[in-house]
């Protein structure tokens, strides 16, 4: 009996030991070669990184171009074309040691001159769209030696490394820029793992393997990024095998695809915050008690669980958890009783408000506004909900205070630098009031301005993060928005596809490590 038991034990142990090994040999055998078809919702706006401002453009650019510094999937900074960097004590001079032996796709060398060329371009007369990220901050760059660059700032800037990791910080071949000028957008030349082949507008971009890539030869031979506008068409393309990778899967389709053994569905938290901006210039929203009451009235847990089926994160303040600098603070709990009390104290036990929302610009935007509308009704705030097409919505929510009757309006913001200073400064600083800036609710507070400025000028990470924490504390207390949630990005792949990057900036792309089963 004992022997049998012992035998059983040995067999079980052997079995247990063998199981993960069997799994490993089957699943981790990286395959080389093959083409991957990636279906995305819109055409790139440009393939010149300094002129690109949409996610469909940025994610294609990130396969062909690289920055000095990049984000990893957890939004931490890591070396890319720069191997290391140091800052002077006053935070004004940044020295980058560059990776040696890197070549652009056109065969020219990547070196300190190419980096200086990048700064000369964004600071110069050409003024590409994204130059505005760098012009307020950077004075200029100088070549120290072929593999060392020094960048001089106009003032200390706490988030400097983040603007260098921004998609617009990609280093383009100077030779290509000189050759193509304005048409660089159609002839991109970078150092990335994939080289440009063709762009058939409205249809697809094709890239091929860059055999000379410094990080090793990429596994995939080709990547074809197709523009497929209709959500349902993308899902059907995945199911029919016409696409290997699709983005923005509608929430309703997730359970069905998850059940199918042929597909993997990834739901990744993002840096985007969705919120309802409050026009504080309109009465009674100038009263902080009213704004706080609106925040207490909303049941965010129910929104995350039911409306988003858990494909969203709760956001307590103006900054979402995946923005660098997010501070874990208690936000507004769901407390309709307290909401009613505050409204009564402010002298508005019943209130009629206008609520605006776009439809289809953000995941479930209009449904989200409807959920808020119901919650508000429960505390005696009757909201009339209306929508506008996105182009008109952008204009209507930016009109100056004296020309608008907007009150509450839903917006989303994903700071493309991945950090909280860019998640708050453009939206809440009093120097950024609409129509000039993006402070569309006209919130202005000296204390908040000071805290944001402190974060802007910080010379250490510690002081930057401390100041940003203060920014979030003040913002939560002052409640310039109804704080809501952060929607996940939902990406589906065939089970054959491995090592896709889903960056929380809502960018999905492939690297030299991505591969596909034969």
Partner 1 sequence: MIAYITRRLLLIVPVLLGVSIGSFALLHLVPGDPAMILAGQEATEEVLARIRHEHGLDRPLPAQFAVYLGHALRGNLGISIQSRQPVATLIAERFPFTLRLAFLAILVSAVLGVVAGVIAATRRNSMIDLAALLASLVGISLPIFWLGLLMMLVFSVRLQWFPAGGHGTAAHLVLPALVLGASSSAVIARMTRASMLEVLRQDYVRTARAKGLRERIVIYRHSLKNAMIPILTVFGLEFGYNLGGAVLTETVFSLPGIGRLIVEGIFARDYPVVQGSMLVVATTFVLVNLLTDVAYAFFDPRIRYE
Would you tell me which residues interact with partner 1 (CB under 8 A)?
39, 45-46, 53-54, 127, 129, 132, 182, 185, 200-204, 226-230, 232-233, 236-237, 239-242, 388-392, 394-396, 398, 411, 413, 416, 426, 435-438
Q: Angle of helix 288-297 relative to helix 365-378, nearest 10 degrees? A: 110
Contact 300, 445 (CB under 8 A): no
* In the complex, minimum distance from the CB of residue 202 to partner 1, in angstroms, rounded to a whole number: 3
> Two tokens at 225?
């990024």
> Two tokens at 455?
């974060």
Judged by beta carbon, residue 113 or residue 398, the one nearer partner 1 is 398
Judged by beta carbon, residue 218 or residue 325, the one nearer partner 1 is 325
> Two tokens at 155?
């003032």
* In the complex, minimum distance from the CB of residue 207 to partner 1, in angstroms, rounded to a whole number: 17
Q: Output b/e per residue, 79-91; b: 16+ Cβ within 10 A.
A: ebbbeebebeeeb
What is the C-alpha to C-alpha distance for residues 160 and 134, in angstroms, rounded to an integer?
A: 9
3-state secondary structure 396-424: HCCCCHHHCCCCEEEEEECCCCCEHHHHH
* In the complex, minimum distance from the CB of residue 360 to partner 1, in angstroms, rounded to a whole number: 11
Judged by beta carbon, residue 137 or residue 307, the one nearer partner 1 is 137
* In the complex, minimum distance from the CB of residue 68 to partner 1, in angstroms, rounded to a whole number: 21
479 burial via Cβ count (<10 Å: 0-12, 13-18, 19+): buried
Contact 152, 141 (CB under 8 A): yes
* In the complex, minimum distance from the CB of residue 190 to partner 1, in angstroms, rounded to a whole number: 20
What is the C-alpha to C-alpha distance for residues 273 and 407, in angstroms, rounded to an integer?
A: 19
Contact 80, 67 (CB under 8 A): yes
Judged by beta carbon, residue 127 or residue 495, the one nearer partner 1 is 127
* In the complex, minimum distance from the CB of residue 391 to partner 1, in angstroms, rounded to a whole number: 3
> Two tokens at 73?
């999937």
Judged by beta carbon, residue 24 or residue 436, the one nearer partner 1 is 436
Contacts of 196 (CB under 8 A, 6+ apart): 47, 64, 105, 187, 188, 189, 205, 207
* In the complex, minimum distance from the CB of residue 154 to partner 1, in angstroms, rounded to a whole number: 16
* In the complex, minimum distance from the CB of residue 295 to partner 1, in angstroms, rounded to a whole number: 23
Contact 301, 313 (CB under 8 A): no
What is the C-alpha to C-alpha distance for residues 41 and 248, in angstroms, rounded to an integer?
A: 8
DSSP state of 324: B
What is the C-alpha to C-alpha distance for residues 310 and 301, in angstroms, rounded to an integer?
A: 9
* In the complex, minimum distance from the CB of residue 430 to partner 1, in angstroms, rounded to a whole number: 15
Positions of E strands within 358-407 = 381-387
Contact 510, 210 (CB under 8 A): no
Judged by beta carbon, residue 229 or residue 305, the one nearer partner 1 is 229
* In the complex, minimum distance from the CB of residue 502 to partner 1, in angstroms, rounded to a whole number: 21
* In the complex, minimum distance from the CB of residue 239 to partner 1, in angstroms, rounded to a whole number: 5
Classify strands 351-357 and 408-413 as parallel, antiparallel or unpaired: parallel
Judged by beta carbon, residue 32 or residue 127, the one nearer partner 1 is 127
What is the C-alpha to C-alpha distance for residues 155 and 457, in angstroms, rounded to an integer?
A: 7
Number of H helices, E strands in the chain: 15, 21
């Amino acid at each position: 009996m004992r022997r049998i038991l012992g035998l059983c034990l040995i067999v079980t142990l052997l079995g247990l030991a063998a199981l993960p090994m069997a799994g490993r040999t089957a699943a981790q055998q990286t395959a080389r070669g093959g083409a991957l078809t990636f279906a995305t919702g819109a055409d790139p706006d440009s393939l010149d990184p300094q002129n690109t401002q949409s996610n469909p453009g940025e994610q294609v650019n990130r396969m062909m171009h690289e920055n000095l510094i990049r984000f990893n999937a957890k939004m931490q900074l890591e070396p890319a074309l720069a191997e290391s960097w140091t800052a002077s004590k006053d935070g004004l001079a940044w020295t980058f040691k560059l990776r040696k032996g890197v070549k652009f796709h056109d065969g020219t060398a990547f070196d300190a001159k190419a980096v200086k060329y990048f700064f000369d371009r964004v600071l110069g007369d050409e003024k590409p769209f994204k130059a505005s990220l760098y012009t307020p901050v950077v004075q200029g760059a100088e070549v120290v030696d072929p593999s060392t660059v020094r960048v001089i700032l106009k003032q200390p800037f706490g988030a400097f490394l983040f603007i260098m990791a921004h998609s617009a910080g990609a280093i383009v071949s100077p030779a290509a820029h000189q050759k193509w000028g304005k048409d660089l957008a159609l002839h991109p030349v970078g150092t990335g793992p994939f080289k440009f082949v063709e762009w058939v507008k409205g249809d697809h971009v094709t890239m091929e393997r860059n055999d000379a890539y410094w990080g090793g030869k990429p596994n995939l031979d080709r990547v074809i990024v197709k523009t497929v506008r209709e959500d349902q068409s993308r899902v059907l393309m995945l199911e029919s095998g016409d696409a290997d990778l699709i983005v923005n899967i509608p929430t309703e389709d997730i359970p069905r695809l998850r059940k199918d053994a042929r597909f993997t569905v990834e739901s990744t938290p993002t840096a985007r915050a969705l919120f309802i901006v409050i026009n504080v210039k309109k009465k009674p929203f100038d009263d902080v008690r009213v704004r706080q009451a609106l925040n207490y009235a909303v049941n965010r847990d129910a929104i995350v669980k039911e409306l988003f089926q858990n494909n969203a994160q709760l956001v307590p303040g103006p900054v979402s958890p995946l923005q660098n600098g997010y501070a874990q603070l208690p936000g507004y709990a769901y407390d309709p009783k307290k909401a009613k009390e505050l409204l009564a104290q402010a002298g508005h036990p019943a209130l009629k408000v206008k609520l605006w929302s776009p439809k289809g610009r953000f995941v479930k935007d209009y449904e989200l506004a409807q959920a808020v509308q119901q919650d508000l009704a429960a505390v005696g705030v009757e909201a009339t909900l209306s929508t506008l097409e996105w182009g008109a919505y952008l204009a209507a929510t930016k009109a100056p205070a004296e020309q608008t009757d907007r009150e509450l309006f839903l917006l989303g913001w994903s700071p493309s630098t991945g950090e909280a200073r860019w998640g708050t400064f453009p939206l809440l600083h009093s120097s950024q009031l609409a129509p000039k800036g993006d402070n569309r609710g006209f919130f202005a507070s000296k204390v908040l301005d000071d805290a944001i400025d402190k974060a802007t000028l910080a010379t250490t990470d510690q002081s930057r993060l401390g100041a940003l924490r203060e920014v979030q504390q003040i913002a939560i207390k002052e409640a310039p928005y109804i704080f809501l949630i952060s929607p996940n990005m939902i990406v589906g792949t065939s089970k054959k596809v491995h090592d896709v990057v889903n960056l929380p900036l809502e960018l999905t792309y492939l690297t030299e490590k991505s591969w596909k089963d034969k």
